């Protein structure tokens, strides 16, 4: 059993036939058939049932399919680590939401030329799942699972944003927005780490907030721009919105920005170093026209 045979096996399993698997791998059909035959002979098991409609995995095939994904991911990570360390190729792939990728990580790449090969754009709740297959690091405001290696790279200020007239009527000439003043308003919160922070903060309020969710902060801003409520987001104000830093119980409300990775990753030391570099860059390079993040985080989590 070798890497190529596993790749051909998985292509046939995914596409349902030898011909489709061969096309996906850009090789000939006989080459794939030969690799499958050698794989079955080497394992002494049958991996597929040949049916009139295509190839259906046996129980042994399904087991191999489940195990082989991790093996191939590790192969790719070994190659990426060696290339990054000794050949100078950027190989790290980061999963992040769209705003984090475009507003934070891409400018960091331009400024520092880190070993990042690509950014994989998904919604915040999906970033961790990509660490199991396509991504080396995840960056988002979603708290990573406890089994991940992780660090807080910055604290992003959560802001209340709304139409200018609505903001003036609600907060007058205040320089900060007390969230308790929104008790009778519609509040729009993205389904990111911001939602978890806001839920924790408002749990202590005497009067609960009326919270609705949106997929992203940009969508929350769009709804607020049409006066459908007040957005609680980390994005810089847009669409003609006015914004104020959110406060609760006399304290600024912030959302941690996390970097996380697989604790068993072959390049875990390099990934930690990249996270530290990104955290430092965040502390000294304003990625927005107005400051929207605070503090450089050491690995222990305390602000400098």
Taking only the tens place, the pLDDT of each residue in 191-237 is 999 999 999 998 888 888 889 999 999 999 999 999 999 999 999 89
Helices 3-15 and 18-25: angle between axes, nearest 10 degrees? 120
* Residues making up the chain, counted from first to last: 304
Does any domain span residue 218? yes
Report the half-sphere exposure of 203 (CA within 13 A, side-chain side): 7
274 with 233, same domain?
A: no
Domain identity same for 66 and 146 = no
pLDDT beyond 70 at 252? yes
Percentage, residues of the chain above pLDDT 90: 50
**Residue 85 confidence (pLDDT):** 64
- H/E stretch holding 283 reads helix 268-284
Report pLDDT digits (tens) over 115-159: 898 999 999 999 999 998 788 999 999 999 999 999 999 999 999
Tell me the pLDDT band of 299, cut-offs 50, 70 and 90: very low
Which pLDDT value is given to residue 87?
A: 60
Domain count, the chain: 3
Distance of alpha carbon 225 from alpha carbon 221, whole angstroms: 6
Residues 286-296 pLDDT 10s? 655 444 444 44
Round to whole Å and give the CA distance between 216 and 236: 13
Residue 114 lies in a domain: yes
Structure tokens at 67: 């195990």
Euclidean distance between CA atoms 182 and 207, whole angstroms: 10
Across the range 2-12, mean pLDDT stands at 87
- Give dist(CA 61, CA 12) in Å, integer: 11
pLDDT level of residue 301 (50, 70, 90 thresholds): very low
Among 64, 82, 100, which residue terminates a domain?
A: 82
Question: Which DSSP category does 2 fall into?
Answer: -
40 and 25 inside one domain? yes
Q: Is position 295 within any domain?
A: no
Residues 146 and 271 in one domain: yes
For residue 253, the Cα-to-chain-centroid distance in whole angstroms is 22
Q: Does 303 score more than 50 pLDDT?
A: no
pLDDT in tens, 67-103: 887 777 777 767 766 766 666 555 789 999 998 999 8
In contact, 232 and 194? CB cutoff 8 Å: yes
In a domain, 304, yes or no: no
* Residue 303, strand partner residues: 297
**What CATH number is given to the structural domain containing 114?**
3.40.190.10
pLDDT digits (tens, 9 = 90+) for 35-56: 899 888 888 999 998 888 888 9
Residue 304 has pLDDT above 70, yes or no: no
Q: Are 147 and 270 found together in one domain?
A: yes
**Mean per-residue pLDDT for 237-263?**
93
**Is the domain of 237 the same as that of 274?**
no
Q: Is residue 276 pLDDT above 90, yes or no?
A: yes
Residue 133 in any domain: the answer is: yes
Q: Is residue 298 part of a domain?
A: no
pLDDT, tens digit (0-9, with 9 covering 90-100), for 159-181: 999 999 999 999 998 999 999 99
Q: Are residues 248 and 178 in the same domain?
A: yes
For the chain, give me the number of helices (H) and strands (E)? 10, 15
Q: C-alpha angle with apex 52: 49 to 58, nearest 5 degrees?
A: 15
Percent of the chain exceeding pLDDT 70 equals: 90
Shared domain check, 125 and 109: yes
Domain boundary among 37, 64, 82: 82
Across the chain, what does the average pLDDT equal? 86
Q: Are residues 165 and 243 in the same domain?
A: yes
CATH code where residue 70 lies: 1.10.10.10
State whether 194 and 78 are in the same domain.
Answer: no
Q: Determine the structural domain holding residue 70 and report its residue range.
A: 3-82
**The model's pTM:** 0.69
194 and 143 Cβ atoms separated by less than 8 Å: no
Give a yes or no: residue 300 inside a domain. no
**Are 235 and 174 members of one domain?**
yes
Do 108 and 61 sit in the same domain of this protein? no
| Best CA proximity match to 240, nearest among 158, 163, 168 | 163
Is residue 301 assigned to a domain? no
Bridging pattern class, strands 92-96 and 54-57 = unpaired
Q: Which of 43, 58, 82 is the last residue of a domain?
A: 82
At residue 110, φ and ψ (nearest 5 deg) are -65, -40
17 contacts: CB under 8 Å, gap ≥ 6: 54, 55
């Amino acid at each position: 059993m070798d890497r190529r045979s596993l790749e051909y096996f998985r292509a046939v399993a995914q596409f349902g036939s030898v011909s489709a698997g061969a096309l996906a791998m850009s090789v000939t059909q006989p080459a794939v058939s030969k690799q499958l035959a050698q794989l079955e002979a080497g394992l002494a098991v049958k991996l597929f049932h040949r049916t009139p409609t295509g190839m259906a995995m046996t129980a042994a095939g399904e087991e191999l399919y489940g195990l082989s994904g991790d093996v191939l991911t590790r192969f790719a990570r070994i190659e990426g680590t060696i290339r990054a360390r000794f050949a100078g190729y950027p190989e790290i792939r980061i999963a992040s939401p769209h705003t984090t990728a475009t507003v934070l990580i891409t400018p960091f790449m331009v400024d520092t030329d880190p070993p990042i090969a690509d950014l994989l754009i998904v919604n915040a709740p999906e970033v961790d799942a990509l660490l199991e297959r396509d991504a080396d690091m995840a960056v988002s405001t979603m708290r990573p699972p406890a089994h991940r290696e992780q660090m807080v790279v910055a604290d992003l200020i959560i802001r209340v944003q709304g139409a200018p007239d609505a903001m003036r009527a609600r907060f007058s000439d205040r320089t900060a927005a007390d969230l308790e003043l929104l008790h009778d308003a519609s509040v729009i919160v993205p389904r990111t780490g911001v939602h978890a922070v806001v839920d924790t903060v408002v749990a202590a309020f005497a009067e609960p907030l009326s919270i609705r969710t949106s997929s992203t902060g940009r969508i929350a801003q769009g709804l607020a721009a049409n006066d459908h409520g007040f957005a609680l987001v980390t994005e810089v104000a847009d669409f003609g919105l006015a914004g104020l830093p959110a406060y609760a119980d006399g304290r600024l409300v912030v959302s941690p920005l996390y970097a996380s990775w697989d604790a068993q990753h072959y390049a875990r030391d390099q990934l930690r170093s990249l996270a530290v570099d990104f955290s430092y860059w965040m502390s000294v390079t304003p990625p927005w026209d107005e400051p929207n993040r605070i503090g450089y985080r050491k690995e222990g989590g305390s602000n400098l």
